[in-house]
Structure 1
Amino acid sequence: MTIIIFYEKPGCISNTRQKRLLKASGHLLRVRNLLEHPWTPETLRPFFGDSPVNEWFNPTAPRVKTGEILPNLLSEADALEALCADPILIRRPLMQVGDSCRSGFDAAAVHAWIGLADPASDVGDACPRTV
């Protein structure tokens, strides 16, 4: 059993499915509201590891979909400022196990990290309402 701090958007269908899979895999979740957490660049940055800035963003966020926010054109500092100011932009979920942090939900990567009962699950991080 792994204890996971799981930052979600309450009511998100994908986050609900991800939590169900993690619990079925024997993990204990400490669920937090991603939108209400007091993010700072220093607290948010570790979740993105070495992934490119554009992958830090939720591609289905309204401001990304309309082109108001262009993740490919942002510096790391500008991206962190935008994400902290408007957390709906953050690719979710954010997960933390000890000092290890992750953004998004790729079942194969999560399985390699902490183990999943069904690593072939199609539980991704794309919102089913927009795909």
Structure 2
Amino acid sequence: MQKITFYVKPGETSDFPCQQTLADNGYDIEIRDLAEEIWTSALLRPYFGNRPVADWFDPRAPKILSGAINPGAMHAQGALVAMTADPELIRTPLVKLAGRCGAGLTDAEWPAFLAGRSTQAPEPGVMSEF
């Protein structure tokens, strides 16, 4: 049985159907509290792969809704620093399976992610700034 880890925000229930489907298909589901983890830029970065920086953010985060943070104006390093300081900004769920990472996967992205064909791979050299 393969273990898949979901990092979610407290009280978040939107991924229960996905988690149940994965469990029904033989995956061992581990749910972890995103806010309880100690995130660094280097640990967080792989989850976002080649997505645009603005897509790394949870559009429902209070600081986004209030306009205090504009995801479209952020660069990768600034986004990661903001997210490590305030995990509410992170698009969830973060998921990890067999060393592969993803964030906020859509229904269309799950099959490729599970098969190891994720489009989430970081662009070469992106981590060099850390």
Q: What letter is aligned with 1:15?
A: D
Distance, in Å, in 2 between the alignment partners of 1:18 and 1:36 is: 22
Distance, in Å, in 2 between the alignment partners of 1:9 and 1:20 is: 18
Distance, in Å, in 2 between the alignment partners of 1:81 and 1:43 is: 12
Q: Name which of structure 1's ranges 5-14 and 41-50 shifts more when overlaid on structure 2.
A: 5-14
Q: SS at 1:101's partner residue?
A: strand
Aligned residues: 115
Cα deviation per residue 1:99-120 (whole Å; 9 max; x = unaligned)? Answer: 21000031121122216xxxxx
RMSD over aligned Cα atoms: 1.4
How do residues 104-115 of structure 1 correspond to structure 2 at under 5 angstroms?
Answer: 104-114=104-114
Distance, in Å, in 2 between the alignment partners of 1:40 and 1:58 is: 18
User: How far apart are 1:17 and its partner, in Å?
Assistant: 2.9
Distance, in Å, in 2 between the alignment partners of 1:7 and 1:101 is: 11
Percentage of pairs with the same residue: 39
Give 2:76's aligned residue: 76
Moved over 2 A (4+): 15-18
Q: SS at 1:31's partner residue?
A: strand
Structure 2 gaps, min length 5? 116-130
Structure 1 gaps, min length 5? 116-131
User: How far apart are 1:18 and its partner, in Å?
Assistant: 2.8
TM-score if structure 2 supplies the norm length?
0.82
Distance, in Å, in 1 between the alignment partners of 2:93 and 2:4 is: 11
User: How far apart are 1:5 and its partner, in Å?
Assistant: 1.4
TM-score if structure 1 supplies the norm length?
0.81
Distance, in Å, in 1 between the alignment partners of 2:21 and 2:63 is: 29
Residue 38 of structure 2 corresponds to residue 38 of structure 1: yes
Give 1:86's aligned residue: 86
Contact 1:56 1:103 in 2 (8 A): yes
